[in-house]
Amino acid sequence: MSIMFKSDDARAVIEGAYERFRATIPGTTSSRIVPTRHGETHVLVAGRADAPPLVLLHGALASSAHATAELGPLLERHCVYAPDVLGQSVKSADARPSLDGPAYAEWLVDVLDGLKLANPIVYGVSWGGFAALKLAAFAPSRIDKLVLLVPAGVVNGSFWQGFTQMVLPLALYRMSPSEARLRRFVGGLLTTLDDDWVTYFGEALRSYNLDIRKPPLFSPESFAEFKRPTLVFGAEQDVSFPGRPLLSRINVLIPHAETELLEGSRHAPPTNDAFRRRMAERITRFVARDLEACAGQYAQ
């Protein structure tokens, strides 16, 4: 019996959605399977093979293909390794590691070892940001630079807003799916009501056994040994992890972190070329500060 999916047919629906999103990624992609102590992990590889490595960690109910498709010009500047996060993607093992303790850090260390990546740039989104922060806390030497987009585990939003804008619309849709109910739910989540993403969330909400666990909040002591350059984006209208409180607390957890507020953005930022270019340019400026000095280590 699957932990993650309602049925074999439900799993097949999400497999199909994965391939739809993968087909939108520019250039050639390939797959790797990496064994870890918490289960086999699928890794999507994209971008330039001769460029600096970037490990991309997607959010909940998404996948490597969903996240990679949103990178835009970053695919021209990096060799992207996108692991399918355990418990949150159809492509990796049907397992849900503990949110307490080092499980997600252990998983990522095993993935990096399997890919022969000593300390790449790590880019975590939402739930993937939580996994990236676990790595920063338990194995800080494995990260060169850290980029986080609306990471979980930093702050929580208002209970009432979360209930009225997310939990109740979700419950109503799962009880009796309709297009109107789906759009009410995704309207609190997506900045851009992109047809591809709206359709996918309808499929995901009907197919997954939802993981209702809430990632625990990190303490400042977790990052006492983490000194690597860090860039964090918060979304102004994020119901789950409100942008301004998130960025304020990041500066408590990781005082040296650079922060940027995405004004007008909900939890899932715009899914358009203009936003992809904007993010790519900002991340490239952040990464490039000392990239030339270590470029030789990637020329192999």
Structure confidence by residue, pLDDT tens digits, 91-101: 999 999 999 99
Domains and their CATH numbers in the chain: 8-298 (3.40.50.1820)
Q: What amino acid is encoded at 293 in this protein?
A: A
Q: Model's pTM, two decimal places?
A: 0.94
Q: What amino acid is encoded at 281 in this protein?
A: E
Question: In angstroms, rounded to a whole number, what is the distance separating the alpha carbons of residues 119 and 22?
Answer: 26
Structure confidence by residue, pLDDT tens digits, 147-174: 999 999 999 999 989 889 999 999 999 9
Low-confidence residues of the chain: pLDDT under 50: 292-300
pLDDT of residue 300: 40
Question: In angstroms, rounded to a whole number, what is the distance separating the alpha carbons of residues 253 and 224?
Answer: 9
Structure confidence by residue, pLDDT tens digits, 37-79: 999 999 999 999 999 999 999 999 999 999 999 999 999 999 9
pLDDT of residue 248: 98
Secondary element (H or E) of residue 105: helix 103-115
Question: What mean pLDDT is reported for the chain?
Answer: 94
Q: Are strands 146-149 and 121-125 parallel, antiparallel or unpaired?
A: parallel
